[in-house]
Amino acid sequence: MAEQAVSTQSPITSNEKTSTPAGLDELIAQQEKIFVERQGESRRMAARADRALAGGVTSSWQITRPQPVWLSHGKGSKIYDVDGNEYVDLHGGYGAAMAGHGHPAVVEAVRGQAALGTHFAQPTPAAILVAEELTRRFGLPLWRFANSGTEATMDAVHLMRAITDRDLIIKVEGCYHGHHDSVQVSVAPEAEEVGPAHKPAQVPSSTGIPRAITDLTLVVGFNDLDGVARLLDEHPGKIAGMIVEPIMMNAGIILPEPGYLDGLKELLHSRGALLAFDEVKTGLTAGPSGATGATGVTPDIICLAKAIGGGVSVAAIGGTEEAMGHVSNGDYEMVGTFNGNPLAMAAARAMLCEVATPAAYERIDALRQQAVTGLEREIERNGLSAHVVAVGAKGCVVFSSEPVRDFRDFLGVDDSYSNAHWLYQHNGGVFLPPWGKSEQWLISVQHDEADIRRFTDNFAAFAAALRF
C-alpha cells in the first residue's frame, strides 16, 4: 500500500526533541533572507492586504514566515508568484490540485457549465454521474454533496449522532477534520497539554469552542485499538461513532497498522456505534479509491473533498443504505444552498471521469517512485536521520530516525528541519506546503520527471547544507 523506509544514521537526531543546532538556525535565517529578497511584490501586496484582509490573508494558514507568498497564476504543474518566480507546485493547494492547473478537461467542463448557469439550487444530471462514479470507486451506495471538507465531516458527525441517538463521538489525537466545533479538539495540542497516553486530554483547538461541546468529543491515539475499547467500556451506549483519517495526513503521513481499521469497525459495530472515514485528504490521492480501496476496509460513512473537485470547491458524503437511509427518510436533513452546485458537479465529473484515470495513477506511481528513490539516496549519502513515507500521490520526509506511529511520536519530531527544508525548496523553485512538518507533497497528473528532479536536486543541496 505505501512506501515507508527509515534511514537511521545521524547527524540529525530527532524524536527526542533537542535544541536546534546553531547551524540550522543560521541556515534558516540565510534562506529567509533569500526568500524575502526574491519577493518584493509579495511584500508590497502583504502590506496593502493588511489594510483590507484580516491578518492580510484569506485563511489564517496562509500567514507564513517569513511572509505570505502572493500568487499570480498556475499552469500545468507550475505556479507563479506575483514577482514572476516559477515553482513546481508540490503544495497542490493543501492536496486539492491533483489535476494540476488549467487541466483542459476541467477548464472545458467549468467553461461549458459557466455558460449554461452556475447556480440553481436544483439537481443537475452531472450529480448522478458523480455519485455513480463515487459508488464505483468507494463501494458505498448513496451520496450527497457539500462544499468543503469541514461541511462533509460536520454532516458525518451529525449523521452518526442522528442515527444512534447518542451524543459522544471519538476522534483521534492529532487528526484535523475541519473547523466545526465537534472536531476542533486535540488537533495539534502541545506536549504539555496532551495528558496521559491512556487517557488523552480533550484540548480545544481554537478559541470560540464551547467546553460543553469539547466534552462530547473523546480523544484516543491513532493505531490504539485498546484505547477505543476502553472508551466504549467507559461510556456504554453513549458513543455515536468515531471519525478517523484512515491514513493520518495532518501529522506527516502515519499509516494504519495491520488490523487497526478492521478492528475499529468491528469494535464500534459491536457496541452499536458507527465508523466514519475522513478521506478529505486521502480520497483520490492515496489511490483511485482512496485509503478505503488501499486498505480494503469500507466504513459506514466516507467524507471526501479537496481533490475530487479538480480544484473547484466540492465535498461529498457517502454512506451505506442504512446510514444514508436517515437522510433519505428526512430524519437528518442534510442541506445547503450550494450543495450539488452545477459548476462544482461539472468539475467533479471531469476530475473523476477524465482526469483521475488509471493511466494518470500509473504516471503518478512512477513519479512517486522517482521522488522516493531520489530522496532516500540523499538521506543515505548524507547520513541524515530521516525517512520518507509516501502513499499514492502524497509523500513526506520525516526528519526522525524512528517510525512515527501516532501524534505523540510526531510531537517529538523537530520541526525546524522541515521548516528549513521548505525554505530551501521554495528558494530553489519548488513550492511545498508551508512549514512542512505536518503536510505532504502532492504529485498532480501534470507533473513530469523534470519536476521531480528539481525537487530531489533541491533536497540533495539541502542535505549537503546540513553538514554543519
Ligand X SMILES: Cc1ncc(COP(=O)(O)O)c(C=O)c1O
Report the alpha-carbon distance of residue 317 to residue 103 in Å, rounded: 25
Report the alpha-carbon distance of residue 398 to residue 405 in Å, rounded: 12
Between 5 and 188, whose beta carbon lies closer to ligand X?
A: 188
Report the alpha-carbon distance of residue 225 to residue 220 in Å, rounded: 9
Please give the grid coordinates belonging to residue 338: 450550494
What number of chain residues touch ligand X (CB under 6 A)? 14
Q: Which of 87, 94, 176, 260 is catalytic?
A: 176
Between 53 and 464, whose beta carbon lies closer to ligand X?
A: 53
C-beta neighbour count of 55 within 10 angstroms: 12
Task: Calculate the dihedral angle through the C-alpha atoms of 332, 333, 338, 344, rounding to the nearest 10 degrees.
Answer: 40
Among 89, 133, 173, 278, binds ligand X (CB under 6 A): 278
State which amino acid sits at residue 115. A
Site string for ligand X, 72-101 (x = CB under 6 A): ----------------------x-------
Report the alpha-carbon distance of residue 52 to residue 64 in Å, rounded: 18
Site string for ligand X, 137-156 (x = CB under 6 A): -----------xxx--x---
State which amino acid sits at residue 397. V
Closest CA to 14 of 438, 420, 425, 415: 415
Report the alpha-carbon distance of residue 175 to residue 250 in Å, rounded: 6
Between 184 and 446, whose beta carbon lies closer to ligand X?
A: 184
Contact call for residues 260 and 296 (beta carbons, < 8 A)? no
Range in contact with ligand X (rule: CB under 6 A) among 117-125, 129-137, 176-184, 394-402: 176-184
User: According to the binding rule CB under 6 A, does residue 245 interact with ligand X?
Assistant: yes
User: According to the binding rule CB under 6 A, does residue 277 interact with ligand X?
Assistant: no
Between 45 and 255, whose beta carbon lies closer to ligand X?
A: 255
Among 39, 214, 250, 370, binds ligand X (CB under 6 A): 250
Among 144, 265, 281, 368, binds ligand X (CB under 6 A): 281
Among 176, 407, 441, 459, binds ligand X (CB under 6 A): 176
Q: Which of 81, 155, 278, 300 is catalytic?
A: 278
How many residues belong to the chain? 468
Site string for ligand X, 293-322 (x = CB under 6 A): ------------x-----------------
Q: What is the DSSP string of 106-131?
A: HHHHHHHHHHH-S--SS--HHHHHHH
User: Cβ of residue 297: shortest distance to ligand X, in angstroms?
Assistant: 17
Site residues for ligand X, 387-416, by CB under 6 A, read none
Known active-site residue 75: no
Between 45 and 172, whose beta carbon lies closer to ligand X?
A: 172
User: Cβ of residue 72: shortest distance to ligand X, in angstroms?
Assistant: 23
User: Cβ of residue 249: shortest distance to ligand X, in angstroms?
Assistant: 6
Outline where 39-148 has alpha helix (H): 40-49, 92-95, 104-116, 125-138
User: Cβ of residue 175: shortest distance to ligand X, in angstroms?
Assistant: 7
C-beta neighbour count of 413 within 10 angstroms: 20
Chain position carrying cell 471519538:
170
Between 39 and 150, whose beta carbon lies closer to ligand X?
A: 150
Label residue 415 left, alpha or beta by phi (over 0 means left) and psi (-120 to 50 means alpha).
alpha
Tell me whether the omega of the peptide bond preceding residue 200 falls within 30 degrees of 0, making it cis.
no
Known active-site residue 306: yes
Q: Which of 306, 406, 409, 414 is catalytic?
A: 306
Closest chain position to ligand X (CB)? 149
User: According to the binding rule CB under 6 A, does residue 374 interact with ligand X?
Assistant: no
| Residues in CB range of 31: below 8 A, 6 or more apart | 420, 423, 424, 426, 427
User: Cβ of residue 257: shortest distance to ligand X, in angstroms?
Assistant: 19
Known active-site residue 361: no
Report the alpha-carbon distance of residue 368 to residue 392 in Å, rounded: 7
Closest CA to 347 of 130, 115, 119, 133: 130
Interacting residue ranges for ligand X, rule: CB under 6 A:
94, 148-150, 153, 176-178, 245, 250, 278, 280-281, 305
Q: Which residues are catalytic?
A: 176, 278, 306
